[in-house]
């Protein structure tokens, strides 16, 4: 049986990736991706470009985004797939979610200035492709290129995570709102990279049960953020909660992302692929 090479999670320079939607489409196609979704953080501005490029290359396309949510004191990411990208409530919700990023970036720069790193706001801004989407990743790239840290991972560890000088707590969207924006626009909501969160078992159980109660239907099992053990663990979780499973590299940039577009292992055969739920929502490339 042929398993679809689906990659349903990655970022362009419309959020915190470095490649254009068109360059990502070409890279995905070159790597053998058959069904692709661009999932920029809190933003749909790259969707038409990604879809047009995918279809021109003979690759099927699903609309996508990755919404930042605050849940039990942590940031959780909810991927939306297959929605109507003209839905007004979804656009308004994402605009509200993006809204605080600029002030947060100024506050992050102020924290970094206190430990002797001057000009971080202006520095990070030079790496930004979309002024509404300044993110920690842009600060990380600036701090690497200016020699403060050897790689983006160490910037996050030393400066940009809780308890460190460039970290600013932030209120993102509510879980139920994010799930509803996606599902009411005809899409499917997916819990992104569950292995990345630092929840207690009780909190994780609450995340999954509340997500499902709000209408969420999927979980990322195969992701560049998971270890081999987490692939198995969250395959079991998908079965336990009756969720469809997704697969996505979370590719951001050549040389920076540890997982290349389209290169993850296949979903375990016992799982229902999330794209089975989305068949009518796929934009099909002409034969
Ligand atoms: P933000 O939405 O501004 O809070 O930035 C979150 C983004 O930072 C994520 O989507 C990742 O791209 C990136 N990120 C988070 N943690 C790390 C890490 N430990 N190493 C590298 N990148 C990270
Ligand atoms: Mn990111
Ligand atoms: Mn994420
Ligand atoms: Mn992502």
| 13, part of any domain | yes
Specify the residue for token string 């039990």.
72
DSSP label of 126: T
Among all bound ligands, the one having the nearest atom to the CA of 192 is 3
Question: Do residues 92 and 107 both lie within one domain?
Answer: no
Give me the residues of the chain with pLDDT under 50, please: none
SS3 content of the chain, % helix, strand, coil (to 5): 40, 15, 45
| 240, part of any domain | yes
**81: CB partners within 8 A, 6+ apart:** 8, 37, 39, 62, 63, 64, 182, 187, 188, 190, 218, 246, 274, 278, 281
SS3 label, residue 207: helix
| 6-7, strands of its sheet edge to edge | 6-7, 35-36, 60-61
Question: Do residues 58 and 138 both lie within one domain?
Answer: no
CA of 263 from ligand 3 middle (Å) equals: 18
Question: Do residues 90 and 192 both lie within one domain?
Answer: yes
Scanning 146-266, the segments in alpha helix (DSSP H) are 152-155, 175-184, 201-213, 228-241
Question: Do residues 12 and 63 both lie within one domain?
Answer: yes
| 165, part of any domain | no
Distance, first Cα to last Cα, the chain: 21
Nearest atom of ligand 1 to the alpha carbon of 250: 12
In this structure, the residue with its CA closest to atom 22 of ligand 1 is 153
Question: Do residues 115 and 91 both lie within one domain?
Answer: no
The predicted-structure confidence for 257-271, as pLDDT tens digits, reads as follows 889 999 999 999 999
Question: Do residues 73 and 192 both lie within one domain?
Answer: yes
| 286, part of any domain | no
- Its domain, for residue 134, covers 101-158
Question: Do residues 13 and 151 both lie within one domain?
Answer: no
| 24, part of any domain | yes
Which pLDDT score is estimated for 1?
60
CA of 280 from ligand 1 middle (Å) equals: 32
Q: Structurally, how many domains does the chain consist of?
A: 2
CATH of residue 153: 1.10.150.650
Show which of 158, 179, 197 is a domain's final residue.
158
DSSP label of 84: -
Which pLDDT score is estimated for 2?
75
The predicted-structure confidence for 180-214, as pLDDT tens digits, reads as follows 999 999 999 999 999 999 999 999 999 999 999 99
Question: Do residues 77 and 107 both lie within one domain?
Answer: no
Which pLDDT score is estimated for 3?
87
CATH of residue 234: 3.20.20.140
Question: Do residues 93 and 147 both lie within one domain?
Answer: no
Which pLDDT score is estimated for 270?
95
Show which of 158, 185, 205 is a domain's final residue.
158
In this structure, the residue with its CA closest to atom 6 of ligand 1 is 136
Nearest atom of ligand 1 to the alpha carbon of 68: 2
Whether 124 and 209 have beta carbons less than 8 Å apart is answered as no
Question: Do residues 210 and 272 both lie within one domain?
Answer: yes
pTM of the predicted protein model: 0.98
Q: How far apart are CA 285 and CA 186, in angstroms?
A: 20
Q: How many residues does the chain have?
A: 287
């Amino acid at each position: 049986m042929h398993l679809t090479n689906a990659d349903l999670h990655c970022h362009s320079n419309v959020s915190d990736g470095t490649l254009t939607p068109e360059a990502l489409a070409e890279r995905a196609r070159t790597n053998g991706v058959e069904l692709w979704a661009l999932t920029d953080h809190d933003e749909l501005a790259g969707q038409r470009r990604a879809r047009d490029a995918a279809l021109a290359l003979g690759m099927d396309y699903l609309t996508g985004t990755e919404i930042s949510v605050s849940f039990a004191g942590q940031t959780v990411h909810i991927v939306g797939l297959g929605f109507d990208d003209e839905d007004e409530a979804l656009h308004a919700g994402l605009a509200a979610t993006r809204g605080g990023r600029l002030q947060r970036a100024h506050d992050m720069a102020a924290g970094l200035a206190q430990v002797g790193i001057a000009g971080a706001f202006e520095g990070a801004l030079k790496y930004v492709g979309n002024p509404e989407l300044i993110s920690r990743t842009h600060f990380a790239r600036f701090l690497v290129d200016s020699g403060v840290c050897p790689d983006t991972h160490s910037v996050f560890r030393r400066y940009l995570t809780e308890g460190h000088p460039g970290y600013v707590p932030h209120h993102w969207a509510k879980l139920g709102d994010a799930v509803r924006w996606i599902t009411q626009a005809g899409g499917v909501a997916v819990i992104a990279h569950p292995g990345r969160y630092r929840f207690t078992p009780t909190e994780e159980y609450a995340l999954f049960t509340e997500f499902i109660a709000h209408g969420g239907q999927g979980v990322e099992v195969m992701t560049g953020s998971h270890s081999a053990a987490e692939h198995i663990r969250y395959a079991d979780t998908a079965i336990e909660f009756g969720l469809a499973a997704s697969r996505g590299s979370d590719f951001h940039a050549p040389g920076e992302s540890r997982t290349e577009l389209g290169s993850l292992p296949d979903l375990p055969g016992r799982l229902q692929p999330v794209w089975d739920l989305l068949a009518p929502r796929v934009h099909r490339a002409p034969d």
